[in-house]
Amino acid sequence: MKESALHLKHLVKPGEKFRLKDVDPDDTSPYKDKKEVRELLAADKADMVKLQELLYAEGKHSLLVVLQAMDTGGKDGTIAHVMDGVNPQGCVVTPFKVPTPEELAHDYLWRIHQVVPPRRMIGIFNRSHYEDVLIVRVHSLVPNTVWSQRYEQINQFEKHLNENGVTILKFFLYISREEQKERLQARLDDPTKQWKFNVGDLKERELWDQYTAAYEDAINLTSMPWAPWYVVPANRKWYRNLVVARVIVETLRGFDMHWPEPADDLSKVVIPD
């Protein structure tokens, strides 16, 4: 597989039936180990830094990166290891927790729209509006007649954002049930990681099949040309990071950005001693 095609390998093509069981969370093709991709990831991250500066300077586009995963799926790690070189002045990470009373007093997309990145910015959502067709569905927090309408509402919301200069990339970081157990055990065994262990995660783990079905429906119903889903095999963190970085870099390159012209004629400017 050509290097340039990696960013397309895990794209869920709009209109085509997608099944999670067809994805191997251990997949790292065409690479064998972490050493093989170290330089590739470093190059992608260096390109991202340059492209982010151009994005900020030109001020015509914004990029929204949505990260979703099962518990321990690697959302935090992806942010830490893919976005660590970008200028924080032009990148904002927003985690979504349980809605506040104020947020619950509005429609479910209200809190999302508040933090959509403006032009020249990269925004990263750690969880997102998709929780309203995932956890809300699995735990029956609202009736089926309510959450089932949200797929099309989300599609139209994302289309509206796209038509107004926001490019959206959505990543489902796909780990196996066995890998989740190992990661939970590692947290439990490491005193420096125990603060991240939540006993409630074990109850969520019992609902693995229900979450899998909810993710599969969400991906099938909302992978659109203006807001595609990428299902990234994430058992191997190094491969997960490379795929996410490559998709972001190729997307930024596709903006065909140019440095803005200076506001003044600088041809005769002389810097005084």
- How confident is the model at residue 6, as a pLDDT? 83
Please state, in angstroms and rounded to a whole number, the distance separating the CA atoms of residues 183 and 158.
33
> With contact defined as beta carbons under 8 Å apart, do 197 and 184 qualify?
yes
Q: Which CATH number fits domain 3-253: 3.30.230.10, 3.30.470.20, 3.40.50.300, 3.40.190.10?
A: 3.40.50.300
Query: Is the dihedral angle over the CA atoms 136, 132, 72, 28 positive or is it negative?
Result: positive
Residues of the chain with pLDDT under 50: 1-3
Residue 128 contacts residue 66 (beta carbons within 8 Å): yes
- Round to whole Å and give the CA distance between 99 and 105: 10
pLDDT value of position 5: 84
Q: Report pLDDT for 7.
A: 81
> 22-38 b/e with 16+ CB inside 10 Å = b?
ebebebbeebeeeeebe
Q: What is the pLDDT of residue 2?
A: 46
Spatial contact of 96 and 125, defined as CB atoms under 8 Å apart: yes
Any idea where the domains of the chain sit in the sequence? 3-253
* pLDDT value of residue 4: 52
* Other CB atoms within 10 Å distance of the CB of residue 73: 24
